[in-house]
Amino acid sequence: MDRLSLLESYTIALDEGSLNRAARRRGISQPAMSLQIKQLEEVLGQKLLLRTSSGVKPTRHGELVYAQAQGLLAGFDRMCAELSALDNTVSGTFRVSTSTFFGRIVLGPVLLDINQAFPDLDIVMKLEDRLVDVIRENIDLAIRSGTLGETDGAARKIAEMENILFATPEYLDAAGRPQTPDDLKRLKFIQHHEDQTGGYFPLHRQGVEYQAPVRVGFTADDPDLIIRAVSNHTGYARAPRLFLSDALDSGLFEEILPDYQTPPKPIFAVYPSRHSFDRRHNEIIKRLQDKLKSMQQAATADTKDTTAITA
């Protein structure tokens, strides 16, 4: 097997956090996936993965390989897009799928800008809160946040969003403001259906991981319903900071345990195959990455300004 494919299997294993899930995504058996990781370790002469009871994690050398592999795979996709651009203009019908919430706030404005820049491009945007099959449903590009799920075709992580815990000040006045991760057991967690916690989720502070206990009080598959549940003082939830910036600034919501970091929410691009990747994919992904970066910088700046005012 070529080295690029081995690197792709390795990044998928870390994105999924499980060799079993990575194998399903690649359409191979779990032993075959393990063999590919072993082959890559032999090629590089380093141990890259640690097997734990909760899945797989990178070694120190593995973290370096993962970071470099992301760049190499992204570069391969860009090369394919540039090769395609030699023969093709940015035109034709292009079908894009993403979730309702992400599409309205982030991806929709990006696609409108692209549509203006390339008038011959006919973008068909589908907003669906489910994991579409890009091959069977004739989707050119799916943007997924959080859980990638089982999928045919090619996929890679293109960005991350900072996650925070939040609730209304009224709820925290009644339930008590947590001072440590263990205090979260007093509060009810409003959970997205993809966000199964198993009773705990990790929080980090100064390089130390803490397992915060989770007491689920409500589960929904609609982000708007989760926001409404929190707004009704039902409990607390976890979501990207950039979606909550205005509500945090206005005092509608309050960040919980701001000195601790929750795992970021990954953003994935999924397309039928690496050979199908062209300039249209590249334009959308690049502009989406720029949009997310600017939104997150603005949200972080707002947080710093608020902290400075209240200090």
| pLDDT score for 87 | 56
Confidence of residue 3 (pLDDT cuts 50, 70, 90): confident
Q: Span 71-86, mean pLDDT?
A: 76
What CATH architecture is 163-263?
Answer: 3-Layer(aba) Sandwich (3.40)
| pLDDT score for 309 | 43
Is 94 in contact with 124 (CB distance < 8 Å)? yes
CATH number of 89-158+267-300: 3.40.190.10
| pLDDT score for 58 | 92
| pLDDT score for 136 | 81
Is 280 in contact with 149 (CB distance < 8 Å)? no
Confidence of residue 310 (pLDDT cuts 50, 70, 90): very low
Q: For residue 202, which phi and psi values (nearest 5 degrees)?
A: -80, 145
pLDDT over 90, % of the chain: 54
In the predicted model, what is the mean pLDDT of the chain? 87
Domain boundaries, the chain: 3-72, 89-158+267-300, 163-263
pTM for the predicted model, two decimal places: 0.70
| pLDDT score for 250 | 94
What CATH architecture is 3-72?
Answer: Orthogonal Bundle (1.10)
| Residue 305 scores a pLDDT above 90 | no
Confidence of residue 311 (pLDDT cuts 50, 70, 90): very low
The residue length of the chain stands at: 311
Q: Which carries the bigger pLDDT value, residue 134 or residue 307? A: 134
- 272 residue type, one letter: P
Closest CA to 154 of 36, 49, 57, 15: 15
Q: Which of 72-76, 149-153, 158-162, 287-291 has the lowest mean pLDDT?
A: 149-153
Distance CA 10, CA 37 (A): 6
Same fold, 3-72 and 89-158+267-300: no
| pLDDT score for 308 | 47
Task: Write b or e for each residue in 213-235: b if 16 or more Cβ atoms lie within 10 A of its Cβ, otherwise e.
Answer: bbeeeeebeebeebbebbeeebb
| pLDDT score for 302 | 64
| pLDDT score for 131 | 80
- Report pLDDT digits (tens) over 124-144: 999 988 888 888 888 999 999
Describe the crossing of helices 241-250 and 279-310 by its angle, rounded to 10 degrees: 30
| Residue 150 scores a pLDDT above 60 | yes
| Residue 198 scores a pLDDT above 90 | no
